[in-house]
């Protein structure tokens, strides 16, 4: 049940259940279009899947070297879904889809617990659920979505504790925070934000110090003890401390630190502004009414930052996507095959330039709104704290959620990030805005119909892009693995003779001591007698083609199996100059 706040009546549980059923049904129906089934890995999840497989078959947790997070939470969760019928990537994908839906509904609860209206909670939940990156990664066994879902649930209970002081809520929130920390290190941001916000809003008392210390100490101890066990037992992955080492290196180099922070903050604002736009758009009326100068200033700031970026690049406006990983020029990826990722051959059509121009414009607009909202609300909160005014329950929760997002984002903005790393900040920023913005009206005011329409159109566009892009991503991977199985089972080709892409070679041939050969793909290729790609590669001949209908943009896409030409007319690995494209 949702708790009472400031004497207001409890939200009827029936309404909450109905809303959740509608949201969950919409999301589940979309999965029938995507078709998430298929026993093949995606992105990095071959590494996580191998860890689950090893646990099931040998009874021990032993991650591969291609792991840079604790991971044990994800492995144990995935293992539960493999119990009925044994290990498969389909079972692991279902485990992520389950937590993904939990995260979406948790985002709804965060807003409803703030006594905000149903429409805002529904928009917030759908903004997260149909975010193209969140949606795509929900159909994998990557760690991003489970981590996000668990931190959302942890935040729900910490937020309730801030309002009621309930020890039970503190216990549940702390337990979930420990579970999240054993998934990924940065989950420590939630108990740290809780500690800071509790002291700021409720005072520096012995009881509050104890309540802030318990979650933080338990999470830190769990993480340190786990890392020590990995080290002592010889299980520590070779990449486990790679991101920390890069961050420390930047902190020791002030000039590189400032440059890195500026570049990544600009990129982060573009992505977060775009991702949050369906919710941010409802703050426009308030900003225009009371803070026109602030809005004008932030738009000017964004314009100056963009101009500076253009001058540095000397190549015009940097269009989205500016950080590659899940979002790529052709839709949703990545395209980890030799021809597209190593040689950068244009074998998969990119979305029209106009699409990315509009996306970039929306990103800049969203970034301006985000800066304005954060700036205005931060100034208001600081002034209230300095004047000694009583901070309301909603404001205290909003401060906690903002700190959760900012503490999480800071090391990413300093050290660099993939686009998917920004997703966990979305629900915290949305709910934080709702917490410190006062109460939105229970129904849309007539004068806000234009904003409602704009938000609905943007959310619908996000959903269409997410569903079609994820469907295409799964479709070509399904065909790729069909081609690889045919090659291995029907032609009896060994995995050592195939460059089947990052996921294939990682699954079959990962070796942390592998020495890269500049003539081959970097993903642990032994002999590249055979390649799987999207088109012709110099030095190879096509021996079989597979095709599938590609939805975005609409065309028939082919996946080909290539064999090394014994008498190549061109040196293998060299693409004609006119075919080369900038690296993604």
Q: Residue 7: which residues within 8 A CB-CB, separation 6 or more? A: none
Q: What's the mean pLDDT in 78-94?
A: 96
Residue among 453, 161, 159 nearest 282 (CA) = 453
Supply the pLDDT for residue 413.
93
Q: How far apart are CA 54 and CA 14, in angstroms?
A: 44
Q: How far apart are CA 425 and CA 422, in angstroms?
A: 6
| Lowest-confidence segment of 17-21, 316-320, 382-386 by average pLDDT | 316-320
Q: What's the mean pLDDT in 283-298?
A: 60
Residue 296 confidence class, pLDDT cut points 50, 70, 90: low
| Lowest-confidence segment of 214-228, 244-258, 290-304, 565-579 by average pLDDT | 565-579
Q: What's the mean pLDDT in 56-73?
A: 95
Residue among 188, 193, 187 nearest 212 (CA) = 193
CA torsion sign for 557, 562, 565, 568 is positive
pLDDT above 60 for 116: yes
8 A C-beta contact, residue 198 and residue 208: yes
Q: Residue 371: which residues within 8 A CB-CB, separation 6 or more? A: 269, 298, 301, 302
Q: How far apart are CA 396 and CA 161, in angstroms?
A: 11
How far from 363 is each of 182, 308, 433, CA to CA, in Å? Answer: 33, 17, 18
* Kind plus residue range of the DSSP H or E element containing 193: helix 189-202
High-pLDDT (> 70) share of the chain, %: 88
**Which tokens go with 488?**
């291995």
8 A C-beta contact, residue 71 and residue 183: yes
Q: How far apart are CA 333 and CA 329, in angstroms?
A: 9
Q: How far apart are CA 501 and CA 466, in angstroms?
A: 23
Q: How far apart are CA 569 and CA 445, in angstroms?
A: 69
Integer Rg of the chain from CA: 25
pLDDT above 80 for 580: no
Supply the pLDDT for residue 397.
93
Supply the pLDDT for residue 4.
40
Residue tagged 């051959």 (tokens): 345
Residue 321 confidence class, pLDDT cut points 50, 70, 90: very high
Q: Residue 44: which residues within 8 A CB-CB, separation 6 or more? A: 66, 142, 506
Render pLDDT for 439-466 as a digit per residue (tens, 0 to 9).
Answer: 776 665 555 677 788 889 999 999 999 9
Q: How far apart are CA 187 and CA 154, in angstroms?
A: 10
CA atoms within 13 A on the CB side of 267: 24
Residue among 29, 131, 44 nearest 92 (CA) = 44
Q: Residue 180: which residues within 8 A CB-CB, separation 6 or more? A: 73, 147, 150, 151, 154, 187, 190
pLDDT above 70 for 284: no
* Kind plus residue range of the DSSP H or E element containing 472: helix 449-489
Q: What's the mean pLDDT in 35-60?
A: 96
Render pLDDT for 532-548 as a digit per residue (tens, 0 to 9).
Answer: 999 999 999 999 999 99
pLDDT above 70 for 112: yes
Render pLDDT for 268-280 as a digit per residue (tens, 0 to 9).
Answer: 999 999 999 999 8
Residue among 503, 508, 501, 505 nearest 560 (CA) = 501
Q: What's the mean pLDDT in 33-46?
A: 96
Q: Are strands 498-499 and 530-533 parallel, antiparallel or unpaired?
A: parallel
pLDDT above 80 for 185: yes
Render pLDDT for 496-526 as a digit per residue (tens, 0 to 9).
Answer: 999 999 999 999 999 999 999 999 999 999 9
Q: What's the mean pLDDT in 216-237?
A: 96
Q: What's the mean pLDDT in 202-215?
A: 90
For residue 580, say if its preceding peptide bond is cis, omega within 30 degrees of 0: no
Helices (H), 59-183: 72-82, 89-113, 118-129, 132-138, 144-164, 167-181
Supply the pLDDT for residue 170.
96
Residue among 135, 38, 142, 141 nearest 478 (CA) = 38
Supply the pLDDT for residue 581.
35
Select the more confidently predicted residue: 488 or 572.
488
Q: What is the mean pLDDT of the chain?
A: 88
Supply the pLDDT for residue 369.
84
Q: What phi and psi values does residue 260 have, to the nearest 5 degrees?
A: -65, -45
Supply the pLDDT for residue 291.
56
Residue tagged 């940065």 (tokens): 186
pLDDT above 50 for 8: no
Supply the pLDDT for residue 583.
35
pLDDT above 50 for 427: yes
């Amino acid at each position: 049940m949702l708790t009472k706040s400031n004497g207001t009546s409890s939200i009827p549980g029936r309404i909450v259940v109905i809303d959740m059923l509608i949201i969950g049904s919409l999301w589940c129906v979309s999965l029938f279009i995507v078709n998430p089934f298929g026993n093949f890995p995606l992105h990095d999840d071959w590494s996580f899947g191998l860890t689950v497989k090893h646990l099931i078959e040998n009874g021990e947790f032993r991650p591969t070297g291609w792991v840079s997070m604790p991971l044990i939470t994800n492995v144990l969760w995935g293992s539960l879904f493999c119990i009925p019928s044994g290990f498969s990537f389909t079972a692991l994908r279902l485990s992520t889809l389950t937590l993904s839906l939990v995260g979406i509904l948790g985002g709804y609860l965060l807003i409803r617990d703030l006594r905000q209206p149903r429409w805002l909670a529904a928009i917030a939940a759908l903004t997260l659920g149909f975010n193209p990156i969140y949606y795509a990664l929900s159909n994998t066994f990557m760690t991003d979505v489970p981590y996000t879902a668990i931190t959302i649930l942890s935040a729900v209970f910490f937020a309730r504790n801030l309002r009621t002081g309930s020890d039970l809520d503190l216990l549940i929130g702390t337990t979930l925070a420990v579970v999240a920390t054993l998934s990924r290190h940065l989950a420590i941001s939630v108990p740290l934000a809780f500690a800071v916000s509790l002291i700021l809003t409720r005072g520096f008392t012995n009881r509050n110090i104890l309540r802030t210390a318990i979650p933080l100490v338990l999470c830190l101890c769990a993480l340190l003890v786990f890392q020590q066990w990995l080290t002592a037992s010889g299980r520590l992955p070779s990449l486990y401390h790679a991101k920390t080492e890069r961050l420390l290196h930047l902190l020791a180099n002030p000039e590189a630190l400032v440059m890195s922070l500026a570049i990544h903050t600009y990129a982060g604002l573009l992505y977060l502004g775009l991702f949050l736009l369906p919710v941010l758009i409802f703050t426009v009326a308030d900003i225009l009414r009371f803070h026109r100068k602030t809005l004008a200033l932030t738009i000017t700031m964004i314009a100056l930052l963009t101009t500076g970026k253009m001058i540095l690049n000397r190549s015009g406006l940097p269009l989205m996507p500016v950080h590659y990983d899940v979002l790529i020029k052709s839709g949703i990826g990545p395209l980890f095959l030799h021809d597209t990722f190593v040689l950068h051959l244009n074998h998969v059509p990119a979305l029209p330039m106009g699409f990315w121009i509009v996306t970039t414009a929306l990103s800049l607009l969203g970034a301006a709104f985000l800066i304005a909202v954060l700036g205005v609300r931060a100034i208001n909160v600081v002034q209230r704290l300095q004047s000694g005014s009583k901070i309301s329950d909603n404001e205290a929760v909003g401060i906690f959620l903002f700190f959760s997002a900012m503490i999480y984002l800071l090391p990413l903005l300093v050290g660099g990030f993939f686009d998917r790393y920004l997703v966990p900040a979305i629900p915290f920023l949305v709910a934080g805005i709702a917490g410190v913005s006062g109460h939105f009206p229970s129904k849309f005011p007539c004068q806000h119909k234009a904003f409602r329409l704009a938000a609905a159109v943007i959310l619908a566009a996000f959903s269409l892009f997410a569903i079609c892009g994820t469907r295409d991503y799964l479709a070509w991977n399904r065909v790729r693995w069909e081609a690889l199985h045919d090659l291995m089972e029907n032609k009896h080709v060994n995995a050592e003779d195939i460059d089947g892409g990052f996921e294939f070679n990682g699954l079959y041939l990962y070796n942390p001591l592998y020495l890269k050969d500049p003539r081959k793909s970097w993903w642990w290729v032994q002999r590249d007698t055979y390649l799987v790609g999207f088109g012709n590669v110099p030095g190879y001949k096509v021996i079989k083609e597979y095709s599938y209908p590609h939805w975005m943009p609409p065309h028939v896409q082919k996946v080909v199996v290539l064999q090394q030409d014994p008498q190549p007319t061109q040196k293998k690995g060299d693409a004609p100059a006119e075919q080369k494209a900038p690296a993604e």
